[in-house]
Amino acid sequence: MNLKTVEKFLALRGHKKYRLRQIQNLIYKNFISDWNEAAILPKDLKKDLSEKINILSFAVKKLIESKDAKAVKALFELHDKNYIETVLLETSSGNFSICVSTQVGCSVKCPFCATGKLGLKRNLSEEEITDQVLFWNQYIKKEKRKGRVSGVVFMGMGEPFFNYDLTAQSIKKLISPDFFSLASRHISVSTFGYIPGIRKFAKDFPQVNLAISLHAVNNILRNKLVPLNAEFPLEKLSKVLGEYIENTHRKVFIEYVLMKGVNDSKKDAEKLVKWLRKVASAKYFTINIIPYNETVKRFKAPSPDQAKFFESQIQMLGVAATIRKSLGSDIQGACGQLAGKRANKSKKAKKD
Ligand code: SAH
Ligand code: SF4
């Protein structure tokens, strides 16, 4: 929801100014999803709002729950008929983490990623980004689910640092006591390695977690997996990560999508650790090994044993590593599977 629009609306329709604060609390603290739930507002204002102001900036088209009920994916239709997806994930502590999108599609075009296959359609607005978190809070309330939203990861569709300003505005709202009151340290932003974005982020949000999608530590392979590596190669990434750690003293999360026969050997593990140790002391890194979700046929998932083996190699070399449990792969809601069915359909139609 856009509070500026509401403010103007209240003035135009001659409602009291202080209603704005009440509305803000109803939306961001009580998580009402219908104006009729706003018991403290007078009838005429409720009617006015119901007719003219949408609480969410998109329409909910589909909700799919995973078999184990630990993940739910939502498909939203934006005002211009573009589609985005977002996922609610139950965490081990019984709370929820939300994976949000920042763009429709993505211009980085990593060949293994379903979003990358779409190319970039457009950036999401601040409202569209933040409303994904608002929606899941409403959902938890409506469905009477136990637990609360305790974290947000910017790991859905798109490259957050290519939509920096609006992503930053959204993070500010997530942290703000007037809105979601989330702890900075429970928010993570994942980038393919956009150097100017990392620099700016270190200054603007030193307390918010930074995750780097690394996947390979030699330029030949990384150029293939992350095409923009050609422009922002590993040497530059290494330098900026070193600076980041020096300036913020924060850990960096390394995401490593493990693909069978591509980057999953013992040698790959050794080279990865060597590369990280050159950047900074090993204590500054945690490697999230993400077994590939087979969205693009060309790439294959490693066997569970191979993933375990890779993890143990890294740990033996003294770097923290965990295999990311793939929540919700049966709903195509795990990392990298967020593409928006409609967008896929339109692509197919073009081909035919
Ligand atoms: N564009 C940003 C954030 C969105 S992608 C980035 O690349 O970091 C979020 C994560 O999902 C990235 O680490 C990406 O490499 C990973 N990912 C993409 N496709 C995947 C797939 N099919 N299986 C597993 N992980 C995938
Ligand atoms: Fe974009 Fe991230 Fe997918 Fe690469 S992995 S195409 S950067 S969303």
Q: What is the pLDDT of residue 351?
A: 33
Q: How far is CA 304 from CA 81, 121, 210, 307, in A?
A: 39, 35, 27, 5
Q: What is the average pLDDT score of the chain?
A: 93
The protein residue with its alpha carbon nearest to ligand 1, atom 12, reads 213
Q: Which atom of ligand 1 is nearest to the CA of 158?
A: 1
The protein residue with its alpha carbon nearest to ligand 2, atom 8, reads 158
Longest dimension (CA), the chain: 70
| Backbone dihedral region for residue 144 (phi beyond 0: left; psi -120 to 50: alpha; all else: beta) | left
CB neighbourhood size of 13 (10 A) = 12
Question: Which ligand is nearest to the Cα of residue 111, counting in written order?
Answer: 2
CB neighbourhood size of 81 (10 A) = 8
Q: What is the pLDDT of residue 329?
A: 62
Contact criterion met (CB below 8 Å) for 272 and 317: no
The H or E element containing residue 122 is strand 120-123
CA 204/CA 207 separation, integer angstroms: 9
Q: What pTM did the predictor assign?
A: 0.94
Contact criterion met (CB below 8 Å) for 195 and 159: no
The protein residue with its alpha carbon nearest to ligand 1, atom 7, reads 192
Residues 251, 106, single domain; the answer is yes
The protein residue with its alpha carbon nearest to ligand 1, atom 19, reads 336
Q: Is the CB of 299 under 6 A from ligand 1?
A: no
**pLDDT surpasses 70 at 337:** no
How many domains would you assign to the chain? 2
> What does the block give as tokens for 262?
């591509």
* Least confident among 165-169, 176-180, 344-348: 344-348
CA 278/CA 46 separation, integer angstroms: 60
CB neighbourhood size of 246 (10 A) = 11
| Cα–ligand 2 centroid distance for 284 (angstroms) | 24
52, 69, 87: which is the final residue of a domain? 52
Residues of the chain by 3-state class (helix, strand, coil), percent to 5: 45, 20, 35
Query: Hey, which residues are catalytic here?
Result: 85, 335
Residues 89, 24, single domain; the answer is no
Question: Which ligand is nearest to the Cα of residue 301, counting in written order?
Answer: 1
3-class secondary-structure state, position 1: coil
* 154-173 pLDDT per residue, tens: 999 999 999 999 999 999 99
Residues 225, 124, single domain; the answer is yes
Q: What is the DSSP string of 146-212?
A: SS-EEEEEE-SSS-GGGGHHHHHHHHHHHH-TTTT---GGGEEEEES--HHHHHHHHHH-TTSEEEE
Contact criterion met (CB below 8 Å) for 57 and 127: yes
**pLDDT surpasses 90 at 295:** no
* Residue among 113, 155, 228 to mutate when testing ligand 2 (max atoms within 8 A of CB): 113
Q: What is the DSSP string of 17-84?
A: TTHHHHHHHHHHTS--SSGGG-TTS-HHHHHHHHHH--SSSSEEEEEEE-TTSSEEEEEEE-TTS-EE
Q: Which atom of ligand 2 is nearest to the CA of 107?
A: 1
**pLDDT surpasses 90 at 47:** yes
Residues 224, 251, single domain; the answer is yes
Averaged over 280-299, what is the pLDDT? 94
Q: Is the CB of 241 under 6 A from ligand 1?
A: no
* 104-132 pLDDT per residue, tens: 999 999 999 999 999 999 999 999 999 99
**pLDDT surpasses 60 at 352:** no
Residues 100, 41, single domain; the answer is no
Residues 201, 139, single domain; the answer is yes
Domain holding 254, by residue range, is: 59-351
Residues 32, 154, single domain; the answer is no
At residue 347 the predicted structure's pLDDT band, cuts being 50, 70 and 90, is very low
Residues 20, 166, single domain; the answer is no
Main-chain phi, psi angles of 253, to 5 degrees? -95, 125
In one-letter notation, the amino acid at residue 238 is S
